[in-house]
Amino acid sequence: MALSQSRLMLQPRPPSRGLKRLRPTEETRNAGVAGINTIDTTTRPIEFYRSLPKVELHRHLEGSLRFETVLDVVRSYQLDVPDTSLLRSLVQVQENEPLTFQNFLSKFATLRLIYRSPEIIARVTLEAIADAAADNVRYLELRFTPVALSKLRGFPLSQVMDWVMDAARQGEKEHGVTTRLIASVNRHEGVALAGQVAYLAAERKDRGIVGLDLAGNEPGFPAGPFASAFQVAQESGLQVTAHAGEWDGGENVAEAIQKLGAMRIGHGIRVLEAPAALQLARQCGTPFEVCITSNYQSGAVKQLKNHPLARMLAEGLNVTINTDDPSISQIALSDEYRVFCETLSFPLEILRERVLAAARAAFLPETEREALAQALEREYDSLLAATT
C-alpha cells in the first residue's frame, strides 16, 4: 500500500452503516484471537473513535510537536529553512519518502534544532498533553529524551528533566489527563549518557517520572551494554520498558526482558520470528506497546493490513495500541484505534479488551492501575451497549 493510500485513512469516512456486522471469517486472519473467530467490517466516522476513552503507553514527546509550533520557532529564531513544505518534509513523514527507519529517525534529528529555550521545552510538553486530552486520552505516559532536548544549547540534563516535569504537572492539571513521564535513552548515543539519565531519573522517581526506556538505532546497538543503567533504574523503583524486535530480530525481545528487566516491550512485532522470545514474553505476560502506523512508516511492516498484531494476539501476547510519534506520523490515537478496528477488522469488543490491557499495564501503583481499568471498563460497557 502506498503511503498516499494509508494517509487516506486519516480522512473522514462515510457515516456508519449502522449495527455492527459480524461474520464468521473464511479468511481466518483473526481466528484464534481470544476465542473470537469473527471479523468486523463496520466503518464508523472518526468522531466515533475520538469519543472513545483511551490509554497511551508509548508516545514520544519529541515526536509530538505541533507543526505550527515548529514553524513559530523557525520564524522567531530566523532559522534557515527555504519554505514551509520543505520544513514539513523534514519533520513529518510525507508521501513518496522511503519507508525506512533511517528516514523516520532523521525527523528527530531535525526536530533537535527546535529545543532552544526552557520556554520552548515547556510549551511542547504542554501542547503534547493538550493534544492527548483533545483526543480523549485519559491516561498518558509521555516519554522524553533528555539528551535530545539538551544537546543543541548544552542545557544540563537535570534542568531539562525538571522543565519537562514541571510542564507535565501543569498540563495534567490544566487538561485533566493523568500524565506520567518515562525518561528515554537512545542506543546510538552510548552507555555513558544512558547511565547519567538513569541516575537522574531515579532521583526524580517520586516527581512524575515512572520509568526508563531504551530507544534509537536497534540494528547497530545491542541492549546488553545498557544493563547497568537499567539496573540503576530498577533498584530505585522505576519501571523499565525497551524498544526491541522493531527494526531488528525478535530475539532482541528476550534480550530486553532478560538483560534490562524490561516489564514492557516497545513494538516487539518481530517476536513472532523468534520462538524462544515468543515463549518467554507469553510466560511473562509482557505487555507489547504496538504502534501500527509507525511500524508501517518506518518500514518494519510492509503493508498496514498485514500488520502482525493479529498474529501476536493469536499467539496469546498481551498487545496494546499506541501512536509512537503522532506529529511525525500525522496521526492521533483515534486513528490507530480506527486502523485496529477497520483496517485489521477487529470488533469493538477486542478494542475494549486491549484498552483495558493497556490500563492494567500502566506504570502506576496497582490500586491506581486497577481503578483506571475499572473506570474505563464501565465507560466501554455503556458505549458498547449503545452501539449494539
Cβ-proximal residue to Zn ion, closest one: 324
Contacts of 187 (CB under 8 A, 6+ apart): 214, 215, 216, 217, 218, 220, 221, 222, 223, 226
User: Which residue of the set 141, 246, 255, 289 is catalytic?
Assistant: 246
Output the smallest distance, CB 276 to Zn ion, in A. 24
Nearest distance in Å: CB 243, Zn ion: 5
135 is a site residue for Zn ion (CB under 5 A): no
DSSP letter (8 states) at residue 250 = T
* 289 binds Zn ion per the rule CB under 5 A: no
Burial class (CB in 10 A: 0-12, 13-18, 19+), 19: exposed
- The interface with Zn ion within residues 99-118 (CB under 5 A) comprises none
27 is catalytic: no
Listing DSSP states for 118-143 in one string gives HHHHHHHHHHHHHHHHHTTEEEEEEE
When the beta carbons of 44 and 59 are compared against Zn ion, the nearer one is: 59
Query: Of 250 and 347, which has the nearer Cβ to Zn ion?
Result: 250
CA distance 176 to 178: 6
Q: Tell me the window of 8-16, 75-83, 257-265, 320-328 that interacts with Zn ion (CB under 5 A).
A: 320-328
**x-or-dash string of contact with Zn ion, 168-207, rule CB under 5 A:** ----------------------------------------
Helices (H), the chain: 3-8, 46-51, 67-76, 84-91, 101-111, 118-134, 146-150, 157-175, 191-203, 227-236, 251-260, 275-284, 292-297, 309-314, 326-329, 333-338, 348-360, 366-387
Number of residues that bind Zn ion (CB under 5 A): 1
Task: Tell me the pairing of strands 178-186 and 264-267.
Answer: unpaired
Residue 336 touching Zn ion (CB under 5 A): no
Minimum CB distance to Zn ion smaller for 30 or for 327: 327
Pick 40 or 324: Cβ nearer Zn ion: 324
Q: In terms of DSSP bridges, do strands 178-186 and 137-144 run parallel, antiparallel, or are they unpaired?
A: parallel
Q: Kindly state the smallest distance separating residue 343's Cβ from Zn ion, in Å.
A: 20
Binding of Zn ion by 62 (CB under 5 A): no
Spatial contact of 347 and 112, defined as CB atoms under 8 Å apart:
no
Determine if 56 is a binding residue for Zn ion (CB under 5 A): no
CB-nearer residue toward Zn ion: 56 or 324: 324
324 forms part of the interface with Zn ion (CB under 5 A): yes
Residues forming the active site: 246
Binding site for Zn ion (CB under 5 A): 324
